[in-house]
Amino acid sequence: MKIYKSEQIRNIVLLGHGGSGKTTLVEAMAHVDGIVKRQGKVEEGNTISDFDKEEIKRGFSISTSCIPIEWQDCKLNLLDAPGYFDFVGEAKQATRVADSAIVVVSGRSGVEVGTEKAFEYAEEMEIPKIVFVTDMDDDNADLNKVLNQLKDIFGKSIAPFQVPIKEDEHFVGFVNIIKMEGRRFVKDHVEPCEIPEDLMDEVNEVREMILEAVAESDEALMEKYFEGEAFTLEEIQNALHNGVIDGSIIPVLCGSGTNNTGVTVLMDSLVKYMPSPREEHTSVYGEDPDTGEEVEVFCDIEHEATALVFKTIIDPYVGKLSLFRVYSGIIKKDMQLMNVNKDQKEKANHIYVLRGREQFEVDEIHAGDIGAFAKLTDVSTGDTLCDPAKLVKLPGISFPESLAYRAVLPIKKGEEEKMTSGIHKLMEEDPTINIILDTENHQELLYGVGGQHLEIVKSKLLDKFKVEIELVKPRIPYRETIKAKGQVRGRHKKQSGGHGQYGDVVMEFEPSGDREKPFVFEEKIVGGSVPKNYFPAVEKGLIESVDRGALAGYKVVGVKATLVDGSYHPVDSSEMAFKMATIAAFKEAMKVCKPIILEPIASVHVVVPDDYMGDIIGDLNKRRGRVMGMNPVKGKQEVVAEVPMGEMYGYSTDLRSMTQGRGMFTLSFERYDEAPAEIQTKVIEDRAQDK
């Protein structure tokens, strides 16, 4: 594959609702370009984008794939991102390095939640957008309905560049509003045709809207517009190009990825209207890793090389592939680079350009382009690699918090290490996966974005690492404490010939008021009934005792223990004896001081559109939550609540269901509170069964 200048490159991410036709559209573009001789289909598992076994099996994209297409002396780096919410991390990776986005909308289904999310991702990275309405060959497709939905949600920047031509309710062509010419689909190409008379009113209305947008882009054009002077085609296209880049214009094109109609026009439009890296990111800003000062990075081959690793692929044959975007300079084969994040040098022995599963080795990659390193020693997604002569750290990738979790264990005993190793390898590919060891409950917790995400991790572990796992509901880390004050005696006495063992303590136990600490220890010994040198032994006894409560074996918190009296033997007393006496006293106290179970309370922040507020609050109430307040956040509402963590299991899936995917939440531990009596009873019963 030849080397392209920055001005000739277009880095474009395809975003949209799951199943809207992104992968089919990429396949259609590859077919138009001649990369594939026969256009593949998602349902047949033979597209160049979806090549992973899981994607083929399930019939939808799981990972972002890069498909470079050479068109009109330009290189279109198409980043086909998954549309399902469980794989938002992949969409975030692709959007981070893209200069523009195609938002794919089904003409049959219209604007969906995934469409709204696509706009959010693009706007978060401040990149221009073009909308492609696909499925126009479907008799139920309705472009006008889609346009009205787009305008209602995304405002007046929505600008249709085409009006569809239909005959007998079938999509047979379109009117190019910019050139005011008709186009008719004939087999695998388009031919000029007359604009149907019955469409002229609609065409003129859309044309006038486009011309107004052109006029507003420049004072000279505005003057020309008011004087009734016609714009030239070049003036219109240049103004639209600038309007697309600054976000004031979002073009809408239509066609069908399945039937390959309107695809050539889309590709022409990407070259014509979408920005090159030089336009969108003439320079970006990173920071000096030593001083933290801002550093400007120029998209120019004359500057030192700087690249960001945005995705990692573990290939069974090549090994680890690190996909990168070059932000300045030239990355060359055998080049020494500094990994700023790890403060470690790396040698780029092999550089590739990827097209789906295919790999083409190249000697260099220029500023603005996308490539892949092979077998680098210690490089992760989000790392900056740069010329050691000019160190700079680029902003990483903002991944969503992974809040769906299950306890994970291997089906076969003895495969724990193999399971953990496999998960860590999958974490290299997918930073939204995490595994945490819960030492208290002796469980490994697997975290992901959603339930489907975790199921795919399970499937990949079996397929790639031959480890079969089980995902189960995790145990909640309850606590125990006391509610009443009481005085108890603990005595440890043992005689077995020679020196015996003797320790005797009288202690007062009461709530300390601080449930963040296991216990507070004081002594109020009068007259030396217990010598000072045994006080540390008493404290050690408490440390051992609070590890396991009397009710259900959970850790004890919030206890104040005061040593008030006791006795000792000048020969038989020892530190061990007083420690054992304290443990006996503690056990007695947990019987008489009204022990209770405490449950962890989480602070939950749920952000949803206004329409879902009632459902969300009602659901939080069912989970025994307390709503603490509400705040407006970017046109939505944030509900702040405190909810028992035991009631939040599965909430990520439930929230998505309640809000059709529009809601999001964060969760953090707040404190421990007394659990209701029925919950305490159930916790104690469940714990007894586990033993």
* Residues 451, 507 share a domain: no
* Residues 152, 57 share a domain: yes
pLDDT for 687: 84
**E strands in 45-188:** 65-71, 74-80, 100-106, 129-134, 158-160, 162-167, 170-176, 181-186
| Residues forming beta bridges with residue 284, ordered by sequence position | 297
Cβ atoms of 19 and 25 within 8 Å: the answer is no
Q: Is residue 273 part of a domain?
A: yes
The CATH number assigned to the domain holding 509 equals 3.30.230.10
Average pLDDT over residues 8-36: 94
Confidence category of residue 188, pLDDT binned at 50, 70, 90: low
Q: How much is the CA Rg of the chain, to the nearest whole Å?
A: 33
pLDDT at 558 over 80: yes
Q: Is residue 660 part of a domain?
A: yes
* Residues 91, 72 share a domain: yes
* Residues 261, 358 share a domain: no
- Looking at the 3D structure of the chain, how many domains does it have? 5
The model's pLDDT over 352-401, given as tens digits with 9 standing for 90+, comes to 999 998 999 999 999 999 999 998 989 999 999 999 999 999 999 999 88
Q: Is residue 1 part of a domain?
A: no
Confidence category of residue 440, pLDDT binned at 50, 70, 90: confident
The CATH number assigned to the domain holding 327 equals 2.40.30.10
* Residues 508, 435 share a domain: no
* Residues 413, 431 share a domain: yes
Last residue of a domain, one of 526, 560, 591: 591
* Residues 255, 118 share a domain: yes
Residues of the chain with pLDDT > 90: what percent? 76
Q: Is residue 613 part of a domain?
A: yes
Last residue of a domain, one of 442, 472, 502: 472
Q: Is residue 271 part of a domain?
A: yes
* Residues 184, 52 share a domain: yes
Q: Is residue 232 part of a domain?
A: no
Read off the amino acid at residue 447. Y
The model's pLDDT over 300-355, given as tens digits with 9 standing for 90+, comes to 999 999 999 999 998 767 788 999 999 999 999 999 999 999 999 999 999 999 99
Q: Which of 134-138, 278-282, 369-373, 666-670 has the lowest mean pLDDT?
A: 278-282
d(CA 199, CA 163): 8
The CATH number assigned to the domain holding 125 equals 3.40.50.300
Cβ atoms of 418 and 408 within 8 Å: the answer is no
pLDDT at 476 over 80: yes
Residues of the chain with pLDDT > 70: what percent? 99
Last residue of a domain, one of 540, 568, 591: 591
Give 618 or 188, the one with higher predicted confidence: 618
* Residues 423, 368 share a domain: no
Give 596 or 170, the one with higher predicted confidence: 596
581 to each of 487, 577, 587, 668, how far by Cα in Å?
14, 6, 10, 39
pLDDT for 259: 87
Strands 250-254, 283-287: pairing kind? unpaired
The model's pLDDT over 572-607, given as tens digits with 9 standing for 90+, comes to 889 999 999 999 999 999 999 999 999 999 999 999
Average pLDDT over residues 94-106: 96
Q: Is residue 233 part of a domain?
A: no
What value does the mean pLDDT of the chain take?
92
* Residues 176, 137 share a domain: yes
Residue 290 belongs to domain spanning? 283-386
* Residues 123, 109 share a domain: yes
The CATH number assigned to the domain holding 651 equals 3.30.70.240
* Residues 443, 297 share a domain: no
Rounded to 10 degrees, the C-alpha dihedral 590/596/600/601 comes to: -140
Confidence category of residue 449, pLDDT binned at 50, 70, 90: very high
